[in-house]
Structure 1
């Protein structure tokens, strides 16, 4: 959704066009890597998470849907690869442009939504374990269904609306970019505002507040093995957000300011356009990094293809009689039967 004009004045683009020739090689290479790795990793993750599961937990529901969203995303990448390999020339028709363009954007915000759900799920499990026990899987399914319905309600108007491809430079056809200012203001402005607010500001505020609190709580536990694993999961999620999503949305914000003409200097317009091309390539890497997250969160043992696979996600909270200390524990120790009975009132299984 870029504007390649150097300046925007009175709703018209001037003749000076922003050039970023590196983008053709960048997108082709990055999207090809993401397509191969992302397809293999996410199909494998879906197989392991659906065919070898004996137990369904809250986070597991979000991981499944995150893998589905990533798989849909990598399936549209061959069209994007062809588009950029031919120097941003779309040959597949308007309907294919609408579908691939909307799926690209929807994947970004569905991924952020499921990341936020995982964040809140872990936050409640670690800091409010007794509240977490009362949350049922059906509640998570309701949240997930709401996200997919919201995504569909956004996609359908874009797909059934006016064309999303237009003439680029020369005889090329641009797809989902190079909108003229009146067209962008009429059609894309509301989506950009909602995307920045509900897809960036609110989710990242939740993530940046919740994960430091969880990390602080986990560091005070005495179980070093489980503590390290939990911290690695937190750091991985923060890494994916910082590497893939934060740069994309910061440049998206600058692009938005450019479109509403709060940024008009030609130098900044060139820079924002080039930065946006780089961050659009980077955001696609989340499809390759997310399966690592599945590994850490779905099992306490390494994944085995069809051999003794366990994807049972457990979080245990052990509390003393005064509920002063509730360390984070991923697997209960084996106790003698009499000792187990004495501890039943203090062991709460959070799944």
Structure 2
């Protein structure tokens, strides 16, 4: 399964590259602060006589884009109007029922001893389910030629829920990895912790960070009419020269660092330490190591490309004003959605190795008495 995900990313990015063949992009040097979307310009007075007929019944403000810019190829191309929404539909068909099942399955498991682990997985399933449900309107948006018809309020809410839940899932996975690290590498400390209240408090902190993360997206306009394309975009094209949108750059850089880079580093350290300590023990922990490695690899494959392209997009915007990487970034975000539909199956797989983990904890936490020769 892990091999299919990189192949899917390669195919999606190949489509994006083919779309840009023959479309030479004019590079514009921007002196303003640039958020992570395609660039658009609001109409000034000297453009009044060039305005096309308004897109009734929409009353959204107008943006101007150069027909040669990458936004034209992305907005009208097969990648954003067919491939991306089809990927979202596949993720929803698999992920929504499986996460709903996991929510019911884990509620039954709340009677078990490891309540703290169940709480963390419930939090992950809820975050994944909200992310997948937020894709419904985006599917219509993309199939409708990237034309948003649901109004500005819905656009802000969907954009905030989508990106907020992506990072909420990553943070929850980091918490699960840290718990596994404490259980295996620091068993004495782990046994002294009040695990259930700590797990519940951790989930509350994650949701508090989620709420704080989505506020900036809710405060600025997200939907604009793109006059040359005859559509109203949602989040994909923003007026980068406007002061109202300039604070987004600092917010989004902080979001990718705190929402993914920090959880990613935590997962790397925790996984390496757990595998090392299991390997040093005298018992055969290979099934548990294989499952843990599979979970870690899928996390890296699904989340790392979007983080790398996000940062690279900023670098190109600041250095050359080129925004063509945004299309690739949108492709990589699809992998985050696929991780949300894979989490329930990974949860069931990990639950089968829970007995091995508990056995290892008991062996490490209880001092072994020396054997007396008689």
**TM-score category of the 2 structures, normalised to the smaller one:** 0.7 to 0.9
Q: Does the Cα contact within 8 Å between 1:58 and 1:121 map onto a contact in 2?
A: no
- When structure 1 is superposed on structure 2, of 284-293 and 181-190 the one drifting more is 181-190
Match of 1:182 in 2: 241
Q: Secondary structure at the match of 1:88?
A: coil
In the TM superposition, residue 209 of structure 1 has moved relative to its aligned partner by 1.8
Equivalent position to 2:103, from 28, 40, 46: 46
Measured on the aligned residues, the alpha-carbon RMSD in Å equals 2.7
The answer on whether the counterparts of 1:66 and 1:114 sit within 8 Å (CA) in structure 2 is yes
Question: Which residue of 2 is the match for residue 219 of structure 1?
Answer: 279
Identify unmatched segments of 5+ residues in structure 1: 302-310, 326-351
* Shift in CA distance, 312/211, structure 1 to aligned 2, threshold 3 Å: closer
- Helix, strand or coil for the counterpart of 1:102? helix
SS of aligned partner of 2:319: coil
Q: Which residue of 1 aligns with 2:126?
A: 68
Residues 98 and 164 of structure 1 are in contact (CA less than 8 Å); yes or no, is this contact kept in structure 2?
A: yes
Q: CA deviation at 1:61?
A: 1.6
Number of corresponding residues: 305
Quick one: distance in 2 between partners of 1:279 and 1:187? 24
Distance 1:322 1:51 in 2: 33
Instruction: Kindly indicate whether residue 340 of structure 2 is the aligned counterpart of residue 280 of structure 1.
Output: no
SS across alignment from 2:233? strand
In the superposition, relative to structure 1, how do residues 64 and 313 fare at CA in structure 2: closer, same or farther (>3 Å)? farther
Unpaired runs of at least 5, structure 2: 1-24, 33-38, 41-64
Contact 1:297 1:313 in 2 (8 A): no
Q: Does residue 9 of structure 1 match 2:9?
A: no
Cα distance in 2 for partners of 1:192, 1:36 equals: 30
Task: Map 1:19-168 to 2 at 5 A.
Answer: 19-20=73-74, 21=77, 22-55=79-112, 56-136=114-194, 137-159=196-218, 161-168=219-226
Contact 1:53 1:312 in 2 (8 A): no
Q: Does 1:191 align with 2:243?
A: no
Scaled by the length of structure 2, the TM-score of the pair is 0.74
Aligned equivalents of 1:154, 1:321: Cα separation in 2: 43
SS across alignment from 1:179: strand
